[in-house]
Amino acid sequence: MSIVVRKVSGLKVKMCRVACLLALVVLVSPAADALDNGLALKPTMGWLHWERFMCNIDCERDPNNCISERLYMQMADVMAKEGWKEAGYEYVCIDDCWPSRQRDAQGRLQADPKRFPAGIKKLADYVHSKGLKLGIYADVGKKTCAGYPGSLGYYETDAQTFADWDVDLLKFDGCNMDWTLLGEGYVNMSKALNKTGRSILYSCEWPLYEWPFQKPNYTAIREACNHWRNYADVYDSWSSVKSIVEWTASHQDVIVPSAGPGGWNDPDMLVIGNFGLSHAQQESQMALWAIMAAPLLVSNDLRDICPRSKELLQNRHIIAISQDPLGKQGYRTAKVDNFEAWERPLSQKRLAIAVLNLMEIGGPRGFFLRAVPGWKICDPQCNVTQILPQYQELGVQTPHTRVVVSVNPSGTALLTVTPISGDATELNKLSWEDASVKRRRIIL
Ligand code: GLA
């Protein structure tokens, strides 16, 4: 991989040739065929219990936080009442540790009777009555990661059980499975879900469990799943979020082309509103998950969240980037002076730009926007809106204007750029795809 070092705006910018080539590929080739179930045309939004509530099954000592029907009903109540549903958060998702240790006499999964006395069907009815959808969790292998019954040998039975319960999403984990059978297992469950006739969004972890052995086949994964985890579980810490961002960037040539309407790379849950991230770090996670076209599955306690985190998670400008109808995943385009620039092509020829400040010492640092490769979109003119760290119209810019954004330590500045076509320059006569290719050629 060769690195091009170039002087732009007085800054030495290291641009990966790979990133630029990737931009070409992403801009000219549509994603491969997606799972054809009509779901996840935009990245999924909702709430998922795992990172915050894990496998807490002690309802006697901790009734408020244990994995029980009450928890999901309360989350659904808050989601319907406190602006989450309006903001686009739709799925209330159960993770591991919900089932009974034994299947029933007919071999079907059953919810733990003490913690889910009314059963999953009633819970689904309740969640639906709030205008929301219910997600559930199972595993492709013999047992779930926490040791509950797995679906191996029961794919059709379990898919039918979930459909009978009116479940809307299945997160299918990959623990306790011979890795050579992962592909077959994930595809068979996809077919079993399809056979039920119910629309059930299918969230996979197939590539995560395959990477240690071989490079996953993302064409096959996209044909079977609506989203797929690639990398380790997120923790409530900046080092965890940073490692996910770095893994994503360093594998972007492999994973970005497979994302698009119907199928998305899943970098795991948003941990915003918990304990481990500073506000600037929470802004970074939100901005980068939007740029990465990631599912926005929040794992926190919606009943008790600080107003600033809530406002960030419900920020309509960031959500609009996440849910942009063009459905292209963004990618890292430059690394310079402990900054990273990320870009995501948006509909109507717009571009989202995120500038991440990786320094964890000192104060806010200024970044010259025209140092990012995407600034070419401002030829001859563009209109720039800053969304993070605060909303600000930055107005009309040109290739030569010196706009400096201030980025907090481990924070991110997020912007959208709208091209203004002036007198027909050569680029403006071209279609967006052609013009983008040409712009990127200029910087190669
Ligand atoms: C795995 C998954 C997590 C979570 C746990 C549950 O680690 O990657 O997201 O579902 O299992 O046991």
Ligand 1 site, residue 51, Cβ cutoff 6 A: no
Compute the average pLDDT of residues 15-40: 62
Ligand 1 site, residue 145, Cβ cutoff 6 A: yes
Cα(248)–Cα(252) distance, rounded to whole angstroms?
6
Find where tokens 């910018």 sit: 13
CA atoms within 13 A on the CB side of 318: 30
Pairing of strands 11-16, 3-8: antiparallel
CA atoms within 13 A on the CB side of 26: 30
Catalytic residue, chosen from 233, 253, 301, 337, is 233
pLDDT score, position 421: 85
Ligand 1 site, residue 415, Cβ cutoff 6 A: no
Is 173 an annotated catalytic residue? yes
Which of 48, 96, 140, 228 has the most ligand 1 atoms within 8 A of CB, as the residue to mutate? 96
Cα(78)–Cα(64) distance, rounded to whole angstroms?
14
Could you tell me which residue, 429 or 223, shows the higher pLDDT? 223
Which of 50, 205, 208 has the most ligand 1 atoms within 8 A of CB, as the residue to mutate? 50
Cα(229)–Cα(203) distance, rounded to whole angstroms?
8
Is residue 334 a contact partner of residue 372, using CB atoms and an 8 Å limit? Answer: yes
3-state secondary structure string across the chain = CCEEEEEECCEEEEEEHHHHHHHHHHHHCCCCCCCCCCCCCCCCEEEECHHHHCCCCCCCCCCCCCCCHHHHHHHHHHHHHCCHHHHCCCEEECCCCCECCCCCCCCCCCECCCCCCCHHHHHHHHHHHCCCEEEEEEECCCECCCCCECCCCCHHHHHHHHHHCCCCEEEEECCCCCHHHHHHHHHHHHHHHHHHCCCCEEEECHHHHHCCCCCCCHHHHHHHCCEEECCCCCCCCHHHHHHHHHHHHHCHHHHHHHCECCEEEECCCECCCCCCCCHHHHHHHHHHHHHCCCCEEECCCCCCCCHHHHHHHCCHHHHHHHCCCCCCCCEEEEEECCEEEEEEECCCCCEEEEEEECCCCCCCEEEEHHHCHHHHHHCCEEEEEEEECCCEEEEEECCCCCCEEEECCCCEEEEEEEEECCCCCCHHHCCHHHHHHHHHHHHC
Catalytic residue, chosen from 139, 158, 168, 173, is 173
Q: How crowded is residue 103: how many other Cβ atoms within 10 Å of its Cβ? A: 16
Judge whether residue 18 has pLDDT over 80: no
pLDDT score, position 4: 29
User: Which protein residue's CA is at the shortest distance from atom 11 of ligand 1?
Assistant: 145
Q: Which atom of ligand 1 is nearest to the CA of 137?
A: 10
User: Which protein residue's CA is at the shortest distance from atom 6 of ligand 1?
Assistant: 96
Cα(379)–Cα(51) distance, rounded to whole angstroms?
44
Ligand 1 site, residue 95, Cβ cutoff 6 A: yes
Judge whether residue 362 has pLDDT over 50: yes
337-to-341, 366, 372, 405 alpha-carbon distances in Å:
11, 11, 13, 15
Cα(283)–Cα(277) distance, rounded to whole angstroms?
9
pLDDT score, position 422: 62
Ligand 1 site, residue 82, Cβ cutoff 6 A: no
What digits encode the pLDDT tens for the residues 392-407? 999 999 999 999 999 9
Ligand 1 site, residue 234, Cβ cutoff 6 A: no
175-to-61, 96, 139, 231 alpha-carbon distances in Å:
29, 11, 7, 14
pLDDT score, position 33: 85
CA dihedral 53, 296, 307, 232 (to 10 degrees): 50
User: Which residues neighbour 396 within 8 Å (Cβ) at sequence distance 6 or greater?
Assistant: 381, 382, 383, 420
Q: 233 CA to middle of ligand 1, Å? A: 7
Q: Which atom of ligand 1 is nearest to the CA of 233?
A: 8
Is residue 381 a contact partner of residue 365, using CB atoms and an 8 Å limit? Answer: no
Q: 268 CA to middle of ligand 1, Å? A: 10
Cα(284)–Cα(214) distance, rounded to whole angstroms?
31
Q: 352 CA to middle of ligand 1, Å? A: 31
Ligand 1 site, residue 233, Cβ cutoff 6 A: yes
Q: Which of 87, 61, 56 is nearest to 71 (CA)?
A: 56
User: Which protein residue's CA is at the shortest distance from atom 1 of ligand 1?
Assistant: 145
Judge whether residue 7 has pLDDT over 90: no
Ligand 1 site, residue 297, Cβ cutoff 6 A: no
Ligand 1 site, residue 368, Cβ cutoff 6 A: no
Please give the mean pLDDT across all residues of the chain.
91
Pairing of strands 365-368, 331-336: unpaired
Cα(293)–Cα(256) distance, rounded to whole angstroms?
10
Judge whether residue 147 has pLDDT over 80: yes
> What is the percent of the chain where pLDDT is above 70?
88
What digits encode the pLDDT tens for the residues 255-301? 999 999 999 999 999 999 999 999 999 999 999 999 999 999 999 99
Which of 173, 244, 270 has the most ligand 1 atoms within 8 A of CB, as the residue to mutate? 173
Judge whether residue 16 has pLDDT over 50: no
Judge whether residue 19 has pLDDT over 70: no
Q: Which atom of ligand 1 is nearest to the CA of 269?
A: 9
Judge whether residue 372 has pLDDT over 60: yes
Band the pLDDT of 83: cuts 50, 70, 90: very high
User: Which protein residue's CA is at the shortest distance from atom 4 of ligand 1?
Assistant: 50
Judge whether residue 114 has pLDDT over 60: yes
**Facing residues of 396 across strands?**
383
Lowest mean pLDDT among 1-15, 235-249, 310-324, 344-358: 1-15
